[in-house]
Amino acid sequence: MATLQSLDIKRRSATTETPPSVRSSIEVAKLIDVSKCIGCKACQAACYEWNDLHEEVGINIGLYENPHDLTDKTWTLMRFTEFDNKGNLEWLIRKDGCMHCDDPGCLKACPAPGAIVQYQNGIVDFISENCIGCGYCVKGCPFNIPRISKADNKAYKCTLCSDRVSVGQAPACAKACPTQAIYFGTKEEMKVHADGRIADLKERGYQNAGLYDPPGVGGTHVMYVLHHNDQPQLYSDLPKDPKISPLVQFWKGGFKDVALFGFGLTALLGFFHYVTKGPNEVERKDEEAAKRLSGDRP
C-alpha cells in the first residue's frame, strides 16, 4: 500500500470494506476553464509524453479532434463544438478525460479488488496489475471514459498524474496549459478561483456562466468553468446531471448480496426439507408394483 500520506486510499474496488484510515489528506482538483481554452492540445501532447503513450497516427475525418475518441493511449482529448449563439459564433473546446468523481462509477462496477482505488486526495486511479480487463468500469462510468487496451487487456484512463501529485507536482496537462485554462490545486482553492472566473464571464455577458461540479456523482476532482453552465450538453455532450446509472447501482449495489443470500437460502431450504421431510425413497411395494406391471420381464 502506498505510504505517502497524500496517497492513502479512501476506497478500493471490489473490497467489501476499506479499513478506515487514521490519516486524511487534502482533496485536490483540476479546474478546466473552458472559456480560456484555446484548444491547442498542449495538454494532450504533455499527457502522451509524460505517460509514455505512443498513439497511432490516424487520418482526418473532417474534424479537429485527433484521435477521434479517447483510447487506451489517449487519456485526454480536446473536443470541439461550433455553437451558433444567436448569430454569434462560439467555438466551445472541452478537454475530455476522467473527471475523478467523488463517487466513482468505475470503482463501483469494478469486480477486481484493488484494481481501482480512490486516494484520500480524490484521485481515482487504475492499478493495472490488479486489473482483469473485464470492462465493467466502462459500464460503470457516467462519462464514458475508461478504455480497454487491445495490447494488454487492461483498462486505462487519466491518472490525474498520481505519480506527479504524489511528489508534489501538478499533473502534466495542467503544467503545460499555456493559458491557465487548466489550473491545479486543492479543491477548495479551485472553487474560489472558479468564482472569480465566473464573475468575470458574467461581466462579459455570459449570464449562465458557472462551475460544473456535478452533485450526482458526489462532485468531481476535475471541474469545468463553463460559459453556458445551464447547457453542459453543448460542450460535446457533457452530461447535464451525471450519476451512476440505476442499472449499475442495482447490479453492483445490494443485488449481489441478495443473490448470494438467495443461493444460500435455497440450499438451506433443501437441507431443512431433507431433515424434516426426509428422503423420498422407493419402497418395496413400488418395486413389486413395477414387477407386477411388467410381468416377469426383467
Partner 1 sequence: MTLSRRGFFRLTGTGLAGSSLAALGFGSGEAVAASVRPFKLARATETRNTCPYCSVSCGVILYTQGDRAKNAKSEIIHVEGDPDHPVNRGTLCPKGASLLDFIKSPTRVKYPMHRTAGSREWKRVSWEFALDRISKLMKEDRDKNFVAKNSDGVTVNRWPTVGFLAASATSNETAFMTYKVVRSSGMVVFDNQARV
Partner 2 sequence: MSEDEDKNILARYTGGARVNHWANAIILILLAISGLALFHPGLFFLTGLFGGGPETRAVHPWLGVAVLITFGGLFVRFVRYNFWEREDTKWMQRVGDVVNNKEENLPEVGRYNAGQKLVFWGMSLSIIVLFLSGIVLWDTYFAQYTTIDQKRLAAVAHALAASGMIVIVIIHIYAAIWVRGTVRAMTRGSVTGGWAWRHHRKWLKEEVAKLTNDD
Partner 3 sequence: MTNGWNDIKNADVITIMGGNAAEAHPCGFKWVTEAKAHNKAKLIVVDPRFTRSAAVSDLYCPIRQGSDIAWLGGLINYILENDKTQKQYVALYTNAAFIVKPGYGFKDGLFVGYDEQRRDYNRAEWDYELDEQGMAKVDPTLQDPRCVYQLMKQHYTRYTVDMVSRITGSPKDKMVKAWEMIASTGTPERSHTSMYALGWTQHAKGSQNIRAMAMVQLLLGNIGIPGGGMNALRGHSNIQGLTDLGLMSNLIPGYLTLANDREPDYATYMRSRQFKPMRPNQTSFWQNYGKFFVSFQKSMFGAAATKDNDWAYDYLPKLDVVYDVLRAFELMHQGKVNGYFCQGFNPLLSFPNKKKLTEALTKLKWLVVMDPLKTETAAFWENHGEHNDVDPTKIQTEVFMLPTSCFAEEDGSLTNSSRWIQWHWKAAEPPGEAKTDIDIMASLYRRMRAMYAKDGGAFPDPILNLTWPYIDPDKPLAEELAKEINGKVLEDVPDAADPTRIVLRAGQQMPAFALLRDDGKTAAGCWIYTGVYTDAGNMMARRDTNDPADRGLFPNWAFSWPANRRILYNRASADKDGKPWSHRKRLIEWNGRAWGGFDVPDFGVAVNPTAGTMPFIMNPEGVARLFTRGMMRDGPFPEHYEPFESPIANPLAPKIVGNPVARVFKADMEVFGKASDFPLAATTYRLTEHFHFWSKHVPVNAVLQPELFVEISEELAKEKNISKGDWVRVRSNRGAIKAKAVVTKRIKPLVCDGKPVHIVGIPLHWGFVGATKKGFGANTLTPYVGDANIETPEYKAFLVDIERISPPVA
Task: Return residues touching partner 1 (CB under 8 A).
Answer: 1-2, 7, 9, 12, 15-20, 24, 40-42, 44-46, 48-50, 102-103, 113-114, 117, 125, 127, 129-130, 159, 162-164, 166-167, 169, 172, 175-178, 180, 218, 253-254, 257
Q: Of 176 and 209, which CB lies nearer to partner 1 in the complex structure?
A: 176
Buried-state track 69-106, b at ≥16 Cβ within 10 A, e below 16: ebbbbbbbbbbeeeeeeeeeeeebbbbbbbbbbbbbbb
Torsion of CA 140, 47, 59, 80, to 10 degrees: 70
Q: Which of 22, 59, 151, 282 binds partner 3 (CB under 8 A)?
A: 59
> Which of the ranges 41-49, 51-59, 71-79, 254-262 carries the binding residues for partner 2, by CB under 8 A?
254-262
In the shown chain, the binding pattern of residues 8 to 47 toward partner 3, with x for contact by CB under 8 A and - for none, equals ---------------------------xxxxxxxx-xx--
Return the closest-CA partner of residue 13 out of 174, 153, 151, 155.
155
> Which of the ranges 89-97, 134-142, 183-191, 248-256 carries the binding residues for partner 3, by CB under 8 A?
89-97
Q: What minimum distance in Å lies between the beta carbon of 82 and partner 1?
A: 21
Return the closest-CA partner of residue 153 out of 122, 124, 112.
112
Give the chain's length: 298
Q: Footprint of partner 2 on residues 67-126 (CB under 8 A)?
A: 111-113, 115
How many Cβ atoms from other residues are within 10 Å of residue 61's Cβ? 8
